[in-house]
């Protein structure tokens, strides 16, 4: 009897596991070129740089910013209903860029573009009163940095004064890294000797911020190439740092490329995945006691025979845990692996698979929700004349979700360095806000939080860089909220045009255009007086929608313009003999 029950239990467990494996594998499709006609980093087989998936025009849609190699500048693509149009708001240098991120460094509500190039130093561009961008590199104290091989850096408020600081990496055996603290005049001052963060003479790609010991201070982890050994700097709280790489277990020697941060094991601390070009990638599990344990091989994410570059933790299947996507410099020799998505199986090793057609010469990857369906998509920068691309997540998901942006007031406006816990269904999840990670990439600043088996998020606990802690309870699903450090959550409504791919925003004859609201809110008011989630419009004009959320806060969407096709007037004349 006992053996029969054991066999029955085993069969049930196997069936459950088999069913989960069928239903839970996410699905991604390549966005066609007609919708995302992006450039390549270089026509030659040069290693690529970084990219940004941030909404740079602040219309609610994640945009794309691409670096390119020499004799070309940074490229910008605005997102219109999941279709990308190249625009030229800024003309950057042609030195070959590696790092381009949008940062509100002076907390004025407008984001500036920071660019790091191969040997041309830095450029900073800010929007002026006329609505155009002008270079302000000298004004902010970041000029004169040319002549040194550089790749990327990282932003963070390292001295907790509410202003973002910047750490700039040198990819050089003759020059060291530089730490800049921002002063109250919004000028970046070189404090490297005081901070103790020069990092020796190493070939540093970039860094990430992480409060690895949960003391409320931002620490920093640096990816160093050519087995120079990665560096973990502990923030001492007095504007100085201590190298704790060895004693923390974070010192690993590899061709370190990408740095991905995520809580893969669900224990509410941040772990670090490090890609390697040609050997084993590493996974540093945070032991929550100020130390790390390397578990890449045992967890199945060492990516042997993969030329790993970009990497990102995110919940691809919205099942409550962090999956991992890695892009590779794929070359069809020596059994090298293509890019891969690693699915989190809990305490068991990750399982992996590759998307059809994902054998690309790929480098940085960034994540965002490019079609506003509350599923995380992946943007990939490619080189060697291969077009940069987007993988659209079209997985069948049963759980509902929330989309959240964060805004500091006592802390920096971008809320960089903020962490938050979401509580739902008896479990807790950790999320973190960064200005850049992956391989010199900038992800969307919108976080998608899945709600497991419920339409309510029980609670949201936010830990701001200022040291302040705020909480919100019973958040309703299927809405986008801006979570502020100093005020109630406000909605961020977005208008969708489901048939934009086929008909655009042009009315032809007696046809009408369907407009829908991205989410559900207690009160809805369209500019034409209607109050439903979706409307049909049959006349030209500008349309907006204003919503009120559960907290009684109202906000309006960005406007969209509907036009009417004009037909030429014909006059038919007839002569009768």
Over the chain, what is the mean pLDDT? 93
Provide the CA 66 distance to its chain's centre, in angstroms: 14
CA-closest candidate to residue 328, choices 387, 383, 264, 392 = 383
What is residue 575's predicted lDDT score, i.e. its pLDDT?
A: 58
Q: Is the pLDDT of residue 4 over 90?
A: no
3-class DSSP string for 446-514: CEEEEECCCCEEEEEEEECCCCCEEEEEEEECCCEEEEECCCCCEECCCEECCCHHHHCCEECCCCCEE
So what's the pLDDT on residue 567? 60
Supply the pLDDT for residue 19: 34
**Per-residue pLDDT, 509:** 82
Q: What is the pLDDT of residues 33-78, one digit of tens each?
A: 999 999 999 999 999 999 999 999 999 999 999 999 989 999 999 9
pLDDT(573) > 80 = no
Section 408-427 average pLDDT = 96
Distance between CA atoms of residues 476 and 90, nearest Å: 39
The yes-or-no verdict on residue 510 having pLDDT over 80 is yes
Is the pLDDT assigned to residue 562 strictly greater than 70?
A: yes
Measured torsion, CA atoms of residues 363, 405, 55, 262, in degrees rounded to the nearest 10: 0
What's the pLDDT score for residue 9? 34
Give the helix ranges, DSSP H, for 25-178: none
Domains and CATH numbers, the chain: 28-393 (2.130.10.10), 400-433+442-491 (2.60.40), 495-565 (2.60.40)
The pLDDT score that the predictor gives to residue 570 is 60
pLDDT for 212-231, tens place per residue? 999 999 999 999 999 999 99
Cα–Cα distance for residue pair 7/78, rounded to 1 Å = 57
484-494 pLDDT, tens digit per residue, is 999 999 999 99
Q: Is the pLDDT of residue 380 over 50?
A: yes
| Across 17-38, average pLDDT | 76
The pLDDT, as a whole number, for residue 360 is 95
Structure tokens at 18: 């088999």
Nearest to 327 by CA among 374, 253, 260: 260
Provide the percentage of residues in the chain whose pLDDT is more than 90: 89
Matching residue, tokens 């069936």: 15
pLDDT band at 519 (very low <50, low <70, confident <90, very high): very high
Q: Is the per-residue pLDDT at 383 higher than 80? A: yes
Q: How far apart are CA 446 and CA 514, in angstroms?
A: 26
- Average pLDDT score over residue span 98-107: 98
């Amino acid at each position: 009897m006992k053996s029969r029950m054991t066999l029955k239990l085993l069969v049930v467990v196997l069936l459950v596991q088999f069913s989960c494996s069928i239903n839970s594998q996410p699905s991604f499709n390549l966005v066609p070129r007609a919708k995302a006609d992006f450039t390549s980093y270089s026509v030659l087989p040069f290693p690529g740089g970084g990219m940004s998936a941030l909404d740079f025009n602040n219309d609610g849609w994640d945009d794309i910013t691409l670096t390119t190699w020499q004799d070309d500048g940074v490229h910008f693509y605005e997102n219109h209903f999941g279709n990308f149009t190249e625009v030229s708001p800024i003309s950057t240098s042609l030195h070959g860029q590696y790092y381009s991120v949008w940062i509100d460094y002076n907390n004025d509500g407008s984001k500036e573009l920071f660019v790091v190039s191969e040997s041309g130093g830095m450029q900073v561009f800010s929007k002026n009163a006329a609505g155009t961008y002008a270079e302000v590199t000298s004004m902010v104290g970041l000029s004169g940095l040319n002549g040194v091989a550089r790749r990327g850096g990282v932003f963070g408020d390292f001295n907790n004064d509410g202003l973002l600081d910047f750490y700039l990496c040198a990819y050089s055996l003759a020059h060291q890294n530089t730490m800049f603290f921002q002063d109250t005049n919004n000028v970046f001052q070189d404090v490297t000797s005081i901070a103790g963060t020069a990092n020796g003479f190493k070939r540093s790609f970039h860094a990430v911020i992480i409060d690895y010991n949960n003391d409320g201070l931002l620490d920093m982890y640096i990816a160093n190439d050519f087995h120079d050994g990665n560096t973990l700097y502990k923030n001492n709280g007095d504007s100085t740092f201590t190298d704790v790489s060895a004693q923390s277990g974070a010192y690993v020697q590899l061709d370190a490329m990408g740095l991905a941060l995520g809580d893969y094991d669900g224990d509410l601390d941040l772990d670090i995945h490090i890609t390697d070009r040609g050997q084993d990638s590493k996974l540093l599990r945070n032991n929550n006691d100020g130390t790390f344990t390397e578990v890449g091989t045992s967890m199945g994410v060492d990516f042997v025979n993969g030329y790993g570059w970009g990497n990102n933790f995110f919940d691809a299947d919205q099942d409550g845990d962090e999956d991992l996507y890695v892009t590779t410099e794929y070359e069809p020799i020596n059994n090298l692996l293509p890019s891969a998505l690693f699915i989190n199986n809990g305490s068991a090793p990750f399982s992996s698979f590759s998307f059809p057609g994902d054998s690309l010469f790929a480098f940085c990857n960034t994540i965002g929700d490019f079609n506003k369906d509350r599923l995380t998509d992946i943007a990939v920068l490619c080189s060697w004349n291969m077009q940069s691309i987007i993988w659209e997540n079209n997985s069948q998901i049963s759980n509902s979700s929330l989309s959240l942006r964060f805004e500091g007031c006592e802390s920096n406006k971008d809320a960089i360095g903020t962490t938050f816990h979401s509580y739902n269904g008896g479990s807790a999840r950790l999320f973190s806000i960064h200005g850049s990670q992956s391989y010199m990439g900038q992800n969307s600043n919108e976080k998608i939080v899945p709600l497991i088996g419920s339409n309510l998020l029980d609670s949201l606990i936010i830990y701001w860089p200022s040291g302040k802690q705020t909480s919100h309870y019973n958040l309703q699903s299927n809405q986008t909220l801006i979570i502020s450090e100093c005020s109630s959550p406000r909605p961020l409504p977005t208008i969708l045009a489901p048939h934009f791919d086929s008909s655009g925003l042009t009315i032809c004859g007696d046809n009408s255009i369907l407009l829908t609201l991205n989410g559900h809110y207690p009160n809805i008011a369209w500019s034409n007086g209607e109050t439903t989630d979706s409307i049909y419009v049959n006349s030209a004009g500008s349309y907006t929608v204003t919503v009120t959320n559960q907290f009684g806060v109202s906000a309006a969407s960005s406007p969209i313009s509907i036009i009417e096709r004009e037909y030429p007037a014909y006059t038919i004349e007839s002569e009768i003999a």
